[in-house]
Structure 1
Amino acid sequence: MANGNIKPTHWRGMHLRMKPPTQAETRRPRPLAMAVKWHPPDQPWIKVNTDGAYADATKKGGGGYILAAFSAPLEAQSALEAELLAIIHGTNLAKEFGRPIWVEADAEQVVKLINSTSWGPAHTRRAMTRIGILMRQHTIRTTFIHREGNKAADYLAKLGLDRTIFCRMSAETAPRMLKAIARMDEMGIPNIRVHDEDRE
């Protein structure tokens, strides 16, 4: 054993007094929690929080954007394309303010795609071309936020799944739930994100 190797001869005459398990022990995942908070943009940026939703059952897409409150149906073939189209709609609406545009989305894959040199899958290339044109014409940055910090846009995107026309909401016409979410964001109240370490 001087060289650190244990051989079967070293165990001769020894008896194991514990019963080895018959199957691998399953370890329960430990839930982890973190606070996620929406932050207003620094000057002179204008922040557009977007989200896209897609329902496989109905093959319908919906988009939501918080600049003012908008909800709209989207002609998308996947959740990825719905997210990209929501960003296009939100960015086009933000152009009228004439300020640098900060797009914040809760789809990490989409943010990485936009910030890379890739065009993504074939069915998203038209949307990626439109985003590329917007980024050449305007100062635009795109960042990721967890869904818990993007609740208002997520809520609007899901509303968009059931809409047939573009809908712009005011403080008077916005749903009560949306007003509550926006008010919590304005007050800086964080949402708690709970996930399993094995899934991250």
Structure 2
Amino acid sequence: MKINTDGSFSEWGAAWVGGGFRDSSSKCLLFFHALTEAHDALEAELIAVYWALTFALKSAWYKLWIEVDSIQLIIFLNTEQLSSWHHIHWKQKIGNLNKLFKVNMSFIYREGNQPANWLARHDLYTNSISVATRPPTPLALLHHDDKLETSHLRIKANQLKDL
């Protein structure tokens, strides 16, 4: 089971967190996104991982591969280092849950984490919370992109005329 998580942070303390569970064929099994409070981007990422583990526990999925686009998060969760109280608080909560799972955590470049980034930014201007198993069309298309045998390409509109 792969989980992509993202915590997107804004200047005023509101953070949009989101994540998605996929099977080995990139089929979306479950996704979530919500507005929360965070002091900084690292705390938003920690909150996203915490909720991903919580949903995995409720779904009885115990073998997880968590992909995040924050190397800082991976280092923080896997080493002993001093940090602020709000980071330590979430690290302890994640650590308590983590004991129940077989977890691999890896870094994925932001381009490969598009489903989680889309979830964290979906409905930015509302206070909506979503937990569902049937992804909306934009999210389903992003999951479909993961199945393609090509790498991620970005083409600007003015480059299309040259093709």
**Length-normalised TM-score, structure 2:** 0.79
Alignment of 1:178-197 (within 5 A): 178-192=139-153
Instruction: Give 2:8's aligned residue.
Output: 53
Q: Which has the larger radius of gyration?
A: 1
After the TM superposition, which segments of 4 or more aligned residues of structure 1 sit over 4 Å from their partners? none
What displacement does 1:159 show?
A: 1.9
Is 1:93 aligned with 2:60? no
Say how many residue pairs are matched.
Answer: 145
Gaps of 5+ in 1: 1-45, 194-200
Tell me if structure 2 keeps the 8 A contact 1:60–1:161. no
Name the residue aligned to 1:116.
79
Q: What amino acid is aligned across from residue 48 of structure 1 in structure 2?
A: I
Question: What 5-or-longer segments of structure 2 have no aligned partner?
Answer: 22-29, 155-163
- 2:56 partner amino acid: A
Give the equivalent residue in structure 1 for 2:19.
65
Deviations 1:134-185 (A, max 9, x none): 12232222111110110000111112643424212443x61x3222211111
1:91-131 deviation digits (Å, cap 9, x = unpaired): 11112233311111001100111111225333211111101
For the Cα contact (< 8 Å) 1:53–1:62, is it kept in 2? yes
RMSD of Structure 2 on Structure 1 (CA)? 2.0
**Residues 31 and 131 in structure 2, CA contact (< 8 A), matched pair in contact too:** yes
Does the 8 Å contact 2:8/2:121 carry over to 1? yes
State percent identity of aligned pairs: 28
Preserved contact between residue 5 and residue 19 of structure 2 (Cα < 8 Å): yes
Compared with structure 1, are the counterparts of its residues 88 and 163 closer, same or farther at alpha carbon in structure 2 (3 Å cutoff)? farther
